Amino acid sequence: MGQGLGFQQLRKLLLEQDWEDRKELAQKLEQLDSELNTREKLEERVNPILQDQEARIQREFPVLFGPQITESIKKQIKESQDEVVEVLYPIIGRMIKKYITSEIQKLSDQIDAQMEMAFSWEGWKIRIKAWISGTPQKDLMLSKLIEPKIEEIHVIEKNSGMLMGSYTKKEGLDRDMVAGMLTAIKSFVEDAFETEAQELESIDYQNYKIIIKSFNSFFIAVVCTGKLNAAFKDKIDDELLSFSEKVLNKAKHPDKEEVQPDVIEQGLAEYFQDFEDLNE
Amino acid sequence: MNKKVILIGHFGVGKTSLVKRFVHSQFSEEYITTIGVKIDKKTLTVDGVIVNLLIWDIAGENSQQKVPKSYRLGAHGALYVFDITRPATYENMHQEIKALQEVMPDLPILVMANKKDLVSTEELNETLSKIQPYNAIATSAKTGELVNEAFEELTQKMTK
């Protein structure tokens, strides 16, 4: 009996710690089981990770999926053109309709303004002009609506393409580079068609027209908008000739070959600032 | 003061990449051939003088005789670029430079041996000895080595 009691006590002493560990482990397992199998508890742990992932995907979506999306849209458009046209047709149609309506409204407003002007001094001037020139009055009124305007003028050295001076109503591209590219285009056309005695006189692009007037050592490029009529071109020709004669000679430094750009720019502003008002 | 610089040389020698490196400090491995001419601008200060360089990057041709004459006219300086790795790009260099000098006798011309990053020092020296009496500046548009220095040297020659 004494031996049995001793053995029991020894066993208790040796295994007590193991039992406690086992009990603790069983509790942890139970807790884990409950966390995994209870939706609310699992959500509590997993949600922050999912939210982080979601934020990362949102942030890097264009990089991660951009190429695949572009490729799949391209493929989709290519494979089902009819469906795409069907979907886009009403949208594009509405856009065009809206644009035309707005443009007609603008024209109508301008015509209203012209009609109001009909009995003014300006109106009488148009009538007299129409009577003298034989041009229908409506044509004169329409041409007044799309009046030509000078937007920019560049005086450019012929060979090098270096800008000698310029005048512009709005700041845009680097003028030195514009001068260079205009020279390159002009040279290319003249070289390509081997037209030594002939020169490029104008470049058209939609609402803009660049009139090029060549002189001996330089050329002048005039960028215009609106409907250019013969009278306007004549007037530009006259002004450019007079400008080159009076200003450019003065701009040339008496001792050096180089010209003074400020003299040219001042001259251009004087000649062309109110050019449209003079075009009567 | 404004100066016109022309870049000439065979196609694919790296003229556009040199301009891109010099003007925008960029380099791209992608090869896009130049059509006609492309003009860029960069302002330098050399010996206290502000110089606007108008750089005409002229489309490369196998022979410079194919380049429109008018692109070269009025230039204040020229950079002849060749590719160290392609002998065909410098074999006719002497004749081509001579032809340019006949049209424009006083034009400062600088030779650039480009793509230095692709060859060893021995290969570079061997190529440089082949093009004597011309002394070329060995550049790399990729690493930017000596690119600015070459443009600056030409600018100094032009402003003298």
Q: Residue ranges of the domains in chain B?
A: 2-159
Choose the final residue of a domain: A99, A121, A145. Answer: A145
* Residue A276 φ/ψ, nearest 5 degrees: -65, -35
Q: How confident is the model at residue B14 (pLDDT cuts 50, 70, 90)?
A: very high
Dist. CA A200–CA A184, nearest whole Å: 11
Is the per-residue pLDDT at B75 higher than 80? Answer: yes
B10 in Cβ contact with B88 (< 8 Å) = yes
Choose the final residue of a domain: A118, A145, A172. Answer: A145
Name, of A11-25, A62-76, B107-121, the range with top average pLDDT.
B107-121
ipTM: 0.79
* Residue B141 φ/ψ, nearest 5 degrees: -65, -25
Among A201-205, B24-28, B37-41, B126-130, whose mean pLDDT is lowest?
A: B24-28
A247 in Cβ contact with A263 (< 8 Å) = yes
Question: What average pLDDT is seen over chain B?
Answer: 89
In this predicted model, what pLDDT tens digit does every residue of A63-97 receive, in sequence order?
Answer: 888 888 888 888 888 888 777 777 777 788 888 88
* Residue A143 φ/ψ, nearest 5 degrees: -65, -25
More confident residue, B34 or A50: A50
What is the domain extent for residue A23? 2-37
In this predicted model, what pLDDT tens digit does every residue of A163-221 receive, in sequence order?
Answer: 988 888 777 778 888 898 899 888 888 877 766 677 888 898 877 889 999 888 889 99
Q: How confident is the model at residue B7 (pLDDT cuts 50, 70, 90)?
A: very high
Dist. CA B51–CA A233, nearest whole Å: 37
pLDDT of residue B54: 92
Considering only CB atoms, A160 lies closest to which of B40, B52, B73, namely B73
* Residue A203 φ/ψ, nearest 5 degrees: -125, 130
B84 in Cβ contact with B116 (< 8 Å) = yes
In this predicted model, what pLDDT tens digit does every residue of B120-132 receive, in sequence order?
Answer: 999 999 999 998 8
In a domain, A88, yes or no: yes
Nearest-Cα distance to chain A for B34, in Å, is: 14
- In chain A, the percentage of residues whose pLDDT exceeds 70 is 88
Best residue in B5, B23, B34, B54 for a mutation probing chain A (most A CBs within 10 Å): B54
Looking at the structure, tell me whether residues A120 and A208 fall in a common domain: no
pLDDT of residue B90: 92
Question: What average pLDDT is seen over chain A?
Answer: 81
Looking at the structure, tell me whether residues A202 and A250 fall in a common domain: yes
In a domain, A68, yes or no: no
Beta pairing class for A218-225 and A208-214: antiparallel
Considering only CB atoms, B36 lies closest to which of A158, A161, A188, namely A188
Chain A CB contacts of B75 under 8 Å are: 160
In a domain, A265, yes or no: yes
The DSSP result for B83-125, as a single string, is ETT-GGGTTTHHHHHHHHHHHSTT--EEEEEE-GGGS-HHHHH
- Per CATH, the architecture of B2-159 is what? 3-Layer(aba) Sandwich (3.40)
Q: How confident is the model at residue A36 (pLDDT cuts 50, 70, 90)?
A: confident
pLDDT of residue A26: 93
Instruction: Tally the domains of chain A.
Output: 3
pLDDT of residue B22: 92
CATH code assigned at A175: 3.30.450.70
Looking at the structure, tell me whether residues A172 and A120 fall in a common domain: no
Is B71 near chain A, with CB under 8 Å?
yes
Chain A CB contacts of B43 under 8 Å are: none
Name, of A94-98, A121-125, A165-169, B4-8, the range with top average pLDDT.
B4-8
Region A148-163: mean pLDDT is: 88
Looking at the structure, tell me whether residues A184 and A218 fall in a common domain: yes
More confident residue, A173 or A266: A266
Burial class (CB in 10 A: 0-12, 13-18, 19+), A156: buried
